[in-house]
Amino acid sequence: MIHMEISLSILNTSDKPIYRQLYEQLAFQIVTGKLSGGTPLPPIRALANSLGISVISIKRAWEELERDGFIVTMVGRGCFAADLGDEERGSRRRELALGELRPSLASLRQLGLTKAELIELISENYDE
């Protein structure tokens, strides 16, 4: 059973690999505080069965989340959301946002948008 605080969904139609979808969803939940430090993650096999996906995809997501400091593993106890301080959470939130933004910025530059036009577009559409 998936822990009540954790919300994960897989889009099979996404261009993103499954492990990357899991990585981003958990990282986003941790940096926004929706998943508090110390929250246990479901066991890999149980989660794989629940989501109907490969254990390998989950294992890779967990490995990358641990490498990047979003989760911690305690031998014999399982994996847990890392306890990030406010400053670190803010810094990681910014890194994740930039990771989402950079590919879009490249495309928008190719369209010929200026920085001022882009800022205006964002301002006009931010609250939608």
pLDDT tens for 28-55 read 999 999 999 999 999 999 999 999 999 9
Which residue do the tokens 């990282």 mark? 27
pLDDT tens for 103-117 read 999 899 999 999 999
Spatial distance between the Cα atoms of 108 and 123, rounded to a whole number of angstroms: 15
pLDDT tens for 72-103 read 999 999 999 999 999 999 999 999 999 989 99
pLDDT class of 128 with cuts at 50, 70, 90: confident
Q: What is the pTM of this model?
A: 0.83
Q: Which CATH class is domain 18-81?
A: mainly alpha
| Structural tokens at position 95 | 């890194």
Spatial distance between the Cα atoms of 123 and 128, rounded to a whole number of angstroms: 10
Domain boundaries, the chain: 18-81, 86-125
Residue 81: the pLDDT is 96
| Residue 59 per-residue DSSP state | H
Residue 1: the pLDDT is 40
